[in-house]
Structure 1
């Protein structure tokens, strides 16, 4: 997916584990199919996972995620437990982490997730101090990147309407910015980070983008997961004001238009979800 991606395989993971955590030396490592773009993930035995950053840019997430997870208050869902942090070795140049395994199936587009609004509100209610969220800054900070991505996407063969996209984006930018106190937010509520059992949200993965900021970013599941039929109930439960809802739509648009041209040939999960978002926003009329 990335030009500077480090090569990964099962043998590397098992050598790292044997060399640094001999208590798990006999556990087999199995690569997990994932739409993730930052880490390679392996299941270690039945109770653990190993997460290894793919690029240098993701290496700092190991420390940040551990700090963030330690600051979370009580939540109505399970979150990963950081069991150990490994050091560079065996030719692998960055820190890596061992997490506890969480049961559940990743959410699928178009499927309502009971408990999603409850989770968003519970996280927002956390009063612990936290770092600034990577994606919790004003929407204007991604204006240049979003417009460039809209232009790039319009030059592909995707059935994309750049005029409609720019209209959604303009409405989001025109919405008043968040002036309330910074809220705790996850920042990356992609379907693949949401674990469900019997249709109910039971676990949330990948906390490297979490922190405090504008809560609009955590409205993105309204478009990357839900449908026109289920979206209103989520909105009613979370009860954002109109400006926050508009900024949330803008965040969903920006993420999708940036992801799709970058990953359309290298990550089927991410590109399919980006198409889903754009279709829900009315700026994509089909998919390929």
Structure 2
């Protein structure tokens, strides 16, 4: 099955051939393709304890290489579970890319929670507001002002921190309302921790944003509150939250 032009077809039969060549001890293990939102890799569960990660194309293979470099360095250093690397596969059996066997993490990704919950309705309402604003030229000025406020936000002044950089719902596992795992370190990078605020906007309820704000580190500068009945962006407070998240992952110099 392919999704993009130039993708290499990947299925359970392809994995079976790779296992026969490179992991004959697993050649007879039951295989089950894992359905999910990802478009760059095919995931196949191997037995009960492993999952194979097979890139569909060359850029995805580069991403997997990043993940394989970093997972062993981080797996025992974060409180949120990461999959362990159990085997680093090489091209073979007609398959042109590196691939990997990772430890299986129990849980469900957050996509179903987001799609079934209030967040999409919030997105829809927001999109409707934007379209309405664009239809009214007088309100276009308000949109431009909102963009200007974002550009005027103070840049992050601290040292670059390690970023997951792809904290979409499909990369977060949960069970019984609690996070149980973090997936896909292929986009790992360093920089402004605000980048990793993604879950605050796409995986939480609108009313929960105040809880994120309360996590800002002590001493972080805060602006006075807006006049009654008005709200305005709080970029420094937002960056304060991001800094707390960045401290959880740690700075690149500590890795």
TM-score (norm 2): 0.71
Task: Report the CA distance shift for 1:198/1:176 in structure 2 as closer, same or farther (over 3 A).
Answer: same
Alpha-carbon separation, structure 1, partners of 2:171 and 2:57: 20
Aligned to 2:212: 234
* Among 158, 168, 172, the residue aligned to 1:190: 168
* Among 163, 180, 183, the residue aligned to 1:202: 180
Aligned to 1:36: 38
Alpha-carbon separation, structure 2, partners of 1:26 and 1:228: 48
Alpha-carbon separation, structure 1, partners of 2:100 and 2:71: 13
Alpha-carbon separation, structure 1, partners of 2:150 and 2:44: 38
Aligned to 2:86: 83
Q: Is the 8 A contact 1:172 1:246 kept in 2?
A: no
Aligned to 1:57: 59
Alpha-carbon separation, structure 1, partners of 2:11 and 2:216: 42
C-alpha offsets along residues 53-99 of structure 1, whole Å, 9 cap, x if unaligned?
A: 11111111222112212332622211010111111112211101110
Task: Report the CA distance shift for 1:88/1:45 in structure 2 as closer, same or farther (over 3 A).
Answer: same
Alpha-carbon separation, structure 2, partners of 1:238 and 1:12: 48
C-alpha offsets along residues 155-178 of structure 1, whole Å, 9 cap, x if unaligned?
A: xxx856365876655433332222
Task: Report the CA distance shift for 1:41/1:18 in structure 2 as closer, same or farther (over 3 A).
Answer: same
Give the structure, 1 or 2, with the largest relative contact order (CA under 8 Å, sep 6 or more): 1
Task: Report the CA distance shift for 1:186/1:222 in structure 2 as closer, same or farther (over 3 A).
Answer: same
Aligned to 1:216: 194
Alpha-carbon separation, structure 1, partners of 2:161 and 2:60: 24
- Per the TM alignment, residue 38 of structure 1 is displaced from its structure 2 partner at its CA by 1.8
Q: Is the 8 A contact 1:171 1:246 kept in 2?
A: no
Aligned to 1:179: 157
* Among 10, 21, 27, the residue aligned to 1:8: 10
Q: Is the 8 A contact 2:11 2:42 kept in 1?
A: no
- Per the TM alignment, residue 183 of structure 1 is displaced from its structure 2 partner at its CA by 1.0
Q: Provide the secondary structure at the position in 2 that maps to 1:64.
A: helix
- Per the TM alignment, residue 43 of structure 1 is displaced from its structure 2 partner at its CA by 0.7
Q: Provide the secondary structure at the position in 1 that maps to 2:86.
A: strand
Gaps of 5+ in 2: 119-126, 135-139, 222-233, 241-255
* Among 99, 102, 106, the residue aligned to 1:99: 102
Q: Provide the secondary structure at the position in 2 that maps to 1:84.
A: strand
Q: Provide the secondary structure at the position in 2 that maps to 1:49.
A: strand
TM-score (norm 1): 0.63
